Amino acid sequence: MRIALAQLDPTVGDLAGNAALIAAAAARAAAQGADLLVTPELVISGYPPEDLVLRPAFVAACQATVEELATTLPLPVLVGVPWRDGAGIRNAAVLLDGGRVVARYDKMALPNYSVFDEQRTFLAGDGPLLIRAGESLFGVTICEDIWVAEGPADEAARAGASLVINLSASPYHLGKGQQRDALLATFAREHGCSVAYANLVGGQDELAFDGRSLVLDAAGELIARGAYCEEDLVICDIDLAPAAASTIAPAAEIAVHTPATPHEATIAPLPADQSAELWAALTLGLRDYVEKNSFNGVLLGVSGGIDSALVAALSVAALGPERVHGVSMPTRFNVAETRSDARIVAENLGIDFRELPIEDLRLDFHESLPELEGLAAENLQARIRGVLLMGLSNHHGWLVLTAGNKSEVAVGYSTLYGDSVGGFAPIKDVPKTLVHALSRHVNAVAGREVIPVSTIERPPTAELRDDQRDDQSLPPYDVLDPVLHAYIEDRLSPAEIAAEGLVDLATATRIAGLVDRAEYKRRQSAPGLKVHPIAFGRDRRMPITNRFS
């Protein structure tokens, strides 16, 4: 059997555009002699459609789009689509063949953890779906169905499928690809069953999807893999065992042709290391957020610090230098070195850059509010910068990017309505220690100092007062970040963190308190890309009003 996997980047709600992606992939697959094309989960609606599926008109439009698409396809295609039947709304995969829908599978395992809340919007299916292909059978599953032990995918294999197909929309985080590969290979070996896995690619709000669609033989050996963080069409020939007596009657049958010549499948390369993996996912997520929301460019404050330098470099990688605009807004507290580094990084990247000194504005504010002193006075500078950025955004239609990293977001080390101003936070889930690693990666790939070494090595500072450094308010980041990981992702208590030997109990308690008290800031912050197993926002839902410690 020659199978094709369409690794597509759909846009939520763009039903006609998503159908056009499928039609184009189908034409290419048919031209290469494929017997079947498989698309990702909910590709017609885009993923995740969230509460759009609670609108009857939306689901009806999805179904009508699929029925129209079926009349144009040159080969059988499995399409992911929300579907309403007499009982409710389903997360479905429909088989289109001969101009119509010939079979439908409803996802049985509906995830309700992490970023998923499918039990809120979908009804679970009630049984596997088998399709006959020549003398063999294949089972159809959707994403979580193959992750669940003794779940729907196992049922399909035990029922006689020699191939299990999985339509997936599996969100990215660091290490997720390796986790998926291991799970699918184990499944194939345990059941002696080939696996064809079609994953989504692209960015959708806070989520990135990394592709890496694959085909495994019945021994769990990789025979084809799609590109990482790019659209792709994966085509390969699979040798399938003839079906024995099945416990489930096939719902439909597709024709299988013996190809005149074997197809040489491609195994796309993977990123060289963690930094390359993370950089590609961040670039994809930022590009799609900007493009799919029709912004003509991005704007950010370039301070001379490492976070803004990294976000500027990321923006250029995602959009090109002509669509990136940087602004430096110094006061007397910004030293010559950081002002110089801000200009240098802009010149190195080739972006539009302007310097708007705000010292006079700072003094005007102090004249109007003479009672402000200390932190309240310092934060005025950040809020003045926020006003200027949003003014430029309103005038030019640029999306303001905020450069806060996960370490700062975690402990609230930002000014509300100041440096937290922005419409998107690309490195919101990237800890400070990884910011440094990514900055070195940018320079290594370029073979030159894109981000000045002085910016990377300078002690971090907000420069809101004379001689200020981050480590006057926080532990050093190489100490702070492991504690934050333990408290946020491992969900350890301060006492457990101290027992692990990361820091003493008093420091662990203080850091946990900072994280908890900053929840009200995070609720008002810009969305940002999830790149770790637990990110702020969809993953971690904590009360603002909370006296537990």
Q: Which residues are catalytic?
A: 41, 107, 143
Question: DSSP alpha helices (H): ranges in 79-175?
Answer: 152-158
DSSP per-residue string spanning 397-436? -PEEBP---HHHHHHT-S-TTTTT-SSBBTTTT--HHHHH
DSSP per-residue string spanning 21-74? HHHHHHHHHHHTT-SEEE--TTTTT-S--GGGGGSHHHHHHHHHHHHHHHTT-S
Rounded to whole angstroms, the Cα distance separating 183 from 393 reads: 45
Q: Position 546: which residue type?
A: N
Rounded to whole angstroms, the Cα distance separating 173 from 207 reads: 9
**Taking a C-beta distance cutoff of 8 angstroms, is the pair 174, 532 a contact?**
yes
Name the DSSP letter for residue 321.
G
**Taking a C-beta distance cutoff of 8 angstroms, is the pair 32, 263 a contact?**
yes
**Taking a C-beta distance cutoff of 8 angstroms, is the pair 428, 346 a contact?**
no
Rounded to whole angstroms, the Cα distance separating 285 from 272 reads: 19
Rounded to whole angstroms, the Cα distance separating 423 from 311 reads: 14
Q: To the nearest 10°, report the CA torsion of 172, 175, 178, 184.
A: -50
Query: b/e string for 275-297 if b means 16 or more Cβ within 10 A?
Result: bbbbbbbbbbbbbbbbebeebeb
**Taking a C-beta distance cutoff of 8 angstroms, is the pair 349, 324 a contact?**
yes
- Does a cis peptide bond (omega within 30 degrees of 0) precede residue 48? yes
Bridge partner residues of 241 (DSSP): none
Sort 253 into a burial class: Cβ within 10 Å, 0-12 / 13-18 / 19+: middle
**Taking a C-beta distance cutoff of 8 angstroms, is the pair 204, 236 a contact?**
no
The 3-state DSSP class for residue 122 equals: coil
Rounded to whole angstroms, the Cα distance separating 303 from 341 reads: 8
The 3-state DSSP class for residue 90 equals: strand
